[in-house]
Structures are given as C-alpha cells and as structure tokens.
Amino acid sequence: MVQDDEKDIPRVFRVKERRAEIARILEAEGSITVDRICDQFEVSAVTARGDLNELERRGHLQRVHGGALPLDHTLVVADINDRMGVNVSAKRKIARAAAGMVRDGDSIIIDSGSTTFEFVTQLEGKENITIVTHDLVIANFVNKRLPNATLVLLGGTLRYNHHYFCGALSLELVRKIYADKAFFAANSFTEEQGFMTESEAAGEIKSTLLSHARQRIMLMDYSKVGLHNFVRFATLEDIDRIIIDRDPEGYMRRAVSRAENDTHLVIA
C-alpha cells in the first residue's frame, strides 16, 4: 500500500532519486545489471533499461549487454562489446565450469577473448591467486574487482582497437613466467586445422603462452566448431582440457577420441 506521504512525492523526483542510487551502486560495485535494478527498485526491465540509457546519454556510464559499467571500466571496444553479447548463456556456463578448476593460491594465465573475460568475472571468490594476462579489459576488471588477486600485465605493443598487447616485447615477458594453468579462447576450431584465431599477432602470443603453463584449458562455445579462420595457434595435442557448452552431433567427442594425447572434453 502506498502511504499518503508517498503520494505527495512528484514522480519525477522518484525517478531522479532512483537514477542517482543506480549511479552510486555502479561507482561502489563496478557494475550493475538490469535484473538488479528490477529487483532492488521494483521496476520493469523496460524502466531499468530506460534509466541506464538516460544515464549513458548524460555521460555517467557505459551500457553493456545486460547492464552497465562505469566509464573507467569501458576499455571494451565495439568489436569486443558485440562479441560479449553473442552466446552469453553458453559463455557463462563455460566460465562457471572453468572457474571451478581454479584453486586458491593458483597462478593462472588468461588469454584475450570474450569467453575468457566472462571467466575472469567468475573468480571473485578466489583467494591469493596470481593472474597473468596481455588483455587490457581483463586486467582492468582484475584491478577493480579482484582485490585478493595479484595482477601481472604482459606489456608490449598494443594492437590498435583490440586492447591486447602483442609483439616481441610481449613474447619476451611471456618467456619469463610459468603458471599452474592457462585458459585460452579461440575464434574457430576444425579437427583438420585445430584452434584458430584471426591474426598473426594474436596467434603468436597465444602459441607462446601455451608452453608456459602446466595445464592448458580451452574455453570455447559450440558456435566456433566447424568454422575456419586465418592462423592456427594450437592443435588438440596442445590442450589438456576443452570446456564447451554442448556437442550435439558429437563432433568434438570424435575429434578428442582421435587425438594423440589425453585431452579431456568437458560439457559445461
């Protein structure tokens, strides 16, 4: 029941108050979702999205799929933003399964990619982990949201409009480290070509990272299976575990069974 004193509050004031609180939460917590706004303020998804759109128009935040980030979290370029919104449910399933492999005290390498970014968001409960990455978006999230993690950022040449480091300096830094586990992303996979990416620069640093971890884990949603790309950076024999959301036709099971090493396939 609405109290009499609430009836006298102008609607526009309540809207301003709600949006101010959304901005406060965003600043304090580093992100906010449409679902959170709906639950906390008892408004519809349409209203929640309208609030976020208006706050973005005023320059207070950056809209992303399902919610918003503060402006200082928005190193994600348009290409990555687009990919973040593709197969979100599958990527989250994969990310949760991968996070279950990380133990307190682990040192882990995290490759650049939208699925690996989803993975790093699942690590907030981990203690005393060391995260090595060449991806600025992932590094920014770790710096802002994972106070119990040590961040090692592999510098070098920043690839224009992609926000990851590559090149000779990056490769030299990679050769100085060795991690417990490494988590990779791929643009495509076929049994004949292996795991592929879109550029020579990306392929070079991915393939170098492969040899600097005791355990190598590939995070890949099923939409990448059967596609072709430009540069191969790994074969099945290079990977210890593949985490995928589904394998409806058994393509990955058959490929793994024919591999010459003991690669494990995990359906998230």
Give, as one character, the DSSP assignment of residue 153.
E
Handedness of CA 74, 170, 158, 234 (dihedral sign): negative
- Mean per-residue pLDDT, 135-140: 92
Least confident of 35-39, 69-73, 222-226, 227-231: 69-73
Express each pLDDT in 152-177 by its tens digit: 999 999 988 778 999 999 999 999 99
Distances, alpha carbon 31 to alpha carbons 52, 65, 95, 117, 139, in Å: 12, 11, 18, 14, 16
pLDDT exceeds 90 at position 28: no
Residues 6+ positions from 203 with CB-CB distance below 8 Å: 196, 197, 230, 231, 232, 233
Is the distance from CB of 127 to CB of 195 less than 8 angstroms?
Answer: no
What domains does the chain contain, in order, with CATH numbers? 4-74 (1.10.10.10), 81-267 (3.40.50.1360)
Beta strand ranges found along the chain (DSSP E): 32-33, 62-64, 67-69, 107-110, 129-133, 149-153, 157-158, 165-166, 179-185, 188-190, 194-197, 213-219, 231-234, 241-244, 264-267
Give, as one character, the DSSP assignment of residue 23.
H
Count how many Cα atoms sit within 13 Å of the Cα of residue 63 in the half-sphere of its side chain: 15
CA distance 125 to 224: 29
pLDDT exceeds 80 at position 72: no
Least confident of 63-72, 73-82, 142-151, 244-253: 73-82
Place of tokens 């600043």: 27
Strands 241-244 and 264-267: parallel
Q: Which residues pair with 165 in a beta bridge?
A: 158
| Closest CA relative to residue 47, chosen from 34, 30, 32, 59 | 34
Q: Which helix (H) or strand (E) holds 35?
A: helix 34-41
Is the distance from CB of 133 to CB of 143 less than 8 angstroms?
Answer: no
- Mean per-residue pLDDT, 48-77: 76
What mean pLDDT is reported for the chain? 87
Residues 6+ positions from 187 with CB-CB distance below 8 Å: 196, 197, 198, 224, 227, 229
Distances, alpha carbon 220 to alpha carbons 1, 35, 84, in Å: 49, 26, 13
pLDDT band at 244 (very low <50, low <70, confident <90, very high): very high
CA distance 75 to 81: 10
